[in-house]
Amino acid sequence: MSGEPLALYVHWPFCVSKCPYCDFNSHVRASIDEGAWRDALLLDLTHEERLLPDRTLTSIFFGGGTPSLMDPSIVEAIIGSAADHWDVASDIEITLEANPNSVEAARFADLAGAGVNRLSLGLQSFDDEALRFLGRAHSAREGFKALEIAQRNFRRVSFDLIYALPGDTAAKWSAMLAQALSLGTRHLSLYQLTIEPGTRFASLVARRSFEPLAADAAAALYELTDAMTSEANMPAYEISNHARRGQESRHNLTYWRYNDYSGIGPGAHGRRLGMLSVRHKKPENFLLAVERNGNGIAEEKPLSASESADEALLMGLRLKDGIDVGEIAGRFGLTSIVDWRRVDRLVGSGHLTRKGTHIATTARGRLLLDHILGEIAALQPIAYAAAS
């Protein structure tokens, strides 16, 4: 490897329908001009390539939206452009998020042929009733079938499940998790259902159509998840992510270890050269911006040393291994970024562990991460302008 490492995120903003819990930048459109999108994404990528010469690309992540709806030739063109411009790490990880519908599963072989070497599958549940509640367009049977096709086509496969649904119990969730752990997948993302503002679920909860699972019941399921996955040699390496040793998502580790990444496509964030970049969120506005400026950037701003250090702390504490606070402070030329008296108090209460200047959250602590961050650091959350 020669140049400084860089990760690339590519956002595909379209989905066949909008899931009621989803607050991602996803849009439903009757038709999509694939040619226009190919050209726009390639131009947006060229902007980042010019800005960042002499880098070594360590990962690409196609997220969304539903990037498994992309024509594989667009995926191939983006990978090709990135590889033409940057040095490519010999073990580059190229992940694509996929939904397990049969139409998309039929494309897995072509996506592998286009250069994708890791698939992240949104199974979400093995229970048809739960899938209906979550507004998913696939059945449990289709999910298993898609997983089988994925495992045949990609060396590395991960899948997502959502738990802590209304009415979930330890017995119900442990049975589903045991099944998940038996499928031979070496990476799992296990998310608790959260009700995000502005989603359909938020309105349904406001109208009392259903009640989310109580916080203490959800916390008990989190601890159960931690125990079962550790026992199965798939421990959490981040709040919601579990893997066999060596199978962690290298792309996501770039975010959590606060290294540089470029983000292209609608609503994508990037952080490179000490700058935060945000692309236009709405697909049509993104296309117009690319046509006008040759890139989709809506906002770009330099990050101050304290903003960077605070964000690095926030990201690093998501990881089970934690972070070296002294190293982060030094990286940004600061003397101290945490209140050590408060850190030690949280060590005493079993929420943090500490060795010198290295701190990490315990499973109990990871559940209360926002609270812990507020306690130990004078956080200055970065304000992202609402890019249209």
Query: Cβ contacts of residue 70 below 8 Å, gap of 6+?
Result: 12, 62
Q: Please enumerate in sequence order all residues whose Cβ is within 8 A of that of 119, keeping only pairs 6 or more positions apart, or say none.
A: 95, 96, 98, 108, 111, 150, 153, 154, 156, 157, 158
Alpha carbon dihedral 292, 294, 297, 302, in 10-degree steps, equals -120
- When asked if residue 18 is in the footprint of ligand SF4 (CB under 6 A), the reply is yes
| Pairing label, strands 236-238, 261-264 | unpaired
Residue 161 lies near ligand SF4 (rule: CB under 6 A):
no
Cβ pair 323, 313 in contact under 8 A: yes
- Nearest-approach distance from CB 189 to ligand SF4, in angstroms: 12
CB of 62 to ligand SF4, least distance (A): 12
Alpha-carbon distance of 160 to 137, in angstroms, equals: 15
Which residue's structure tokens are 């690339």?
8
CB 226 → ligand SF4: shortest distance, Å? 24
And the tokens for 61? 């992540």
Provide the minimum distance between the beta carbon of 136 and ligand SF4 in the complex, in angstroms, as a whole number.
Answer: 7
Among 6, 8, 10, 15, which residue sits at the site for ligand SF4 (rule: CB under 6 A)?
15
On whether the CB atoms of residues 385 and 298 are closer than 8 A, the answer is yes
Query: Quick one: which segment of 13-21, 69-77, 275-283, 327-335 binds ligand SF4 (CB under 6 A)?
Result: 13-21
22 is a contact residue toward ligand SF4 (CB under 6 A): yes
Measured from the CB of residue 201, what is the shortest distance to ligand SF4 in angstroms? 11
Cα 358 from Cα 353, distance rounded (Å): 8
Would you say 263 or 316 has its CB closer to ligand SF4? 263
The residue (of 66 and 185) whose beta carbon lies closer to ligand SF4 is: 66
CB of 216 to ligand SF4, least distance (A): 27
| 272-291 residues near ligand SF4, rule: CB under 6 A | none
Among 5, 24, 195, 212, binds ligand SF4 (CB under 6 A): 24
Rg (CA), the chain: 21
Please give the C-alpha separations between residue 7 and each of 57, 263, 329, in angstroms, as whole numbers. Answer: 6, 9, 23
Residues 32-91 that bind ligand SF4 (CB under 6 A): 64-66
CA distances from 241 to 54, 195, 197 (A): 32, 20, 23
Question: Judged by CB, which is closer to ligand SF4: 66, or 249?
Answer: 66
Phi, psi for residue 255 in degrees, rounded to 5: -65, -50
**Binders in 209-238 for ligand SF4, by CB under 6 A:** none
Q: Exposed/middle/buried for 66, CB within 10 Å: 0-12, 13-18, 19+?
A: buried
Residue 283 CB, nearest distance to ligand SF4 (Å)? 13
Q: Decide if residue 19 touches ligand SF4 (CB under 6 A).
A: yes
List the one residue from 58, 59, 99, 192 that touches ligand SF4 (CB under 6 A).
99
Size of the site for ligand SF4 (CB under 6 A): 11
CB of 16 to ligand SF4, least distance (A): 8
Q: For ligand SF4, which is the closer residue by CB, 26 or 249? A: 26
Q: Does 26 bind ligand SF4 (CB under 6 A)?
A: yes
- What token pair was written down for 247? 């199978």
- In the complex with ligand SF4, the residue whose CB is nearer, 1 or 16, is 16
Cα–Cα distance measured from residue 193 to residue 191, given in angstroms and rounded to the nearest whole number: 6
Tokens of 105: 């599963």
Least separation, in Å, of the C-beta of 191 and ligand SF4? 11
| Residue the block writes with tokens 């250090």 | 309
Binding region for ligand SF4 (CB under 6 A)? 15, 18-19, 22, 24, 26, 64-66, 99, 122
